[in-house]
Amino acid sequence: MNQFKGTYTALVTPFTMDGSAVDQRRLAEQVRFQAEAGVTGVVACGTTGESPTLSDSEQKAVIEQVVEESRSHGIHAVAGTGSNDTRHAVAAHAHAASVGAIASLQVTPYYNKPSAEGLYRHFMTIADSVDLPIILYHVPGRCGVRMEMSLLTRLFTHPNIIAIKEASGSIDMVSSLVDQTDAVVLSGDDTLMLAMGSVGATGVISVVSNIAPDRVQRIWDCVEAGDLHGAREAHRWLFPLADSLMTLDVNPVTVKTAMSILSMDSGTLRSPLVGMAEQARQALVGILKGRGLLESGTVAEAINS
């Protein structure tokens, strides 16, 4: 369990310009960029990776490539295999285990809004199916269903359910998880990662680290070292960028647009997602310039070197 700490980057899925296929060359470059920045690991096929628009064969291929690339660079690979269909989640979870993922990320079933008992049976069925660690993903704003502590304490009795990506925006929830369970808590909100770390979270599954992985990892190095001043400085640098990625448009539209501006990705999205409005895009350009990322070209140079 102690291995789940620091920065896990929720990778975008790079597509070819017409969106018809996954750009495998770009995907390999992005994993390498993350590894060279010193992150703990990456997450393939999360919602930042546009998993709802990937076919089953594409999802499997992306996970297999990310596992292989991550292994070659000495970092962890987590597979996003969640679904609102329990049978589908079980099958994807088994595939992740078979190809060597270190864990699977299991999002709360969305749209069908199961009861607490339905959620319990869903996650326990997946956990019983294959001996692979599970990171729960609690994001009620996206999924329309909230997990209460009474449910979470039941789930964390299973030896395969060991961590949670907490994205409800509640620092109190993190405090309660740390107090009432043995779970590893990972921040699911980039702008709150320092606050969550201050009350017991040990890492983050991050969107902004697609662009600035070294800065995100700096926060967690400081948290582990007890360096509050250093963590605050890193947070102050990151905050405008992290905030813009979540507020100028829906994730992953903004991060993919930023990566396109920085020559890190084609920026291609799959329908029903569409590109940013021009006014929002120009605001994003201003943020990137303000952080010194666009003018220096260091990000693009690093990922394409």
pLDDT band of residue 1 (cuts 50, 70, 90) is very low
Catalytic option among 5, 60, 165, 256? 165
Catalytic annotation on 137? yes
Please write the tens of the pLDDT for every residue from 231-287. 999 999 999 999 999 999 999 999 999 999 999 999 999 999 999 999 999 999 999
Whether 107 maps to a domain, the answer reads yes
- pTM of structure: 0.95
CATH number at residue 31: 3.20.20.70
- Please determine, for residue 58, whether its predicted confidence score (pLDDT) is greater than 90: yes
pLDDT score at 142:
84
Catalytic option among 8, 137, 256, 289? 137
Domain that holds residue 63: 6-225
Segment 135-162 mean pLDDT: 95
Are 252 and 46 contacting, i.e. CB atoms less than 8 angstroms apart? Answer: no
Average pLDDT value for the chain: 95
Determine the length of the chain. 305
Copy the structure tokens of residue 130.
């294959």
Whether 254 maps to a domain, the answer reads no
Residues 237-246: b if buried by 16+ CB within 10 A, e if exposed? bbeebbebbb
Interatomic CA distance for residues 49 and 296, integer angstroms: 27
3-state secondary structure of 187: strand
Whether 83 maps to a domain, the answer reads yes
Q: H-type helices in the chain, by residue range?
A: 24-37, 56-73, 86-99, 116-129, 140-143, 149-155, 171-180, 193-198, 213-225, 228-247, 253-261, 278-290, 293-296, 298-304
pLDDT score at 287:
97
Catalytic annotation on 113? no
Segment 121-129 mean pLDDT: 98
- CA-to-CA dists, residue 11 to 148, 177, 253, angstroms: 28, 26, 13
Interatomic CA distance for residues 164 and 225, integer angstroms: 23
3-state secondary structure of 249: coil
Number of domains in the chain: 1
Whether 243 maps to a domain, the answer reads no
Whether 284 maps to a domain, the answer reads no
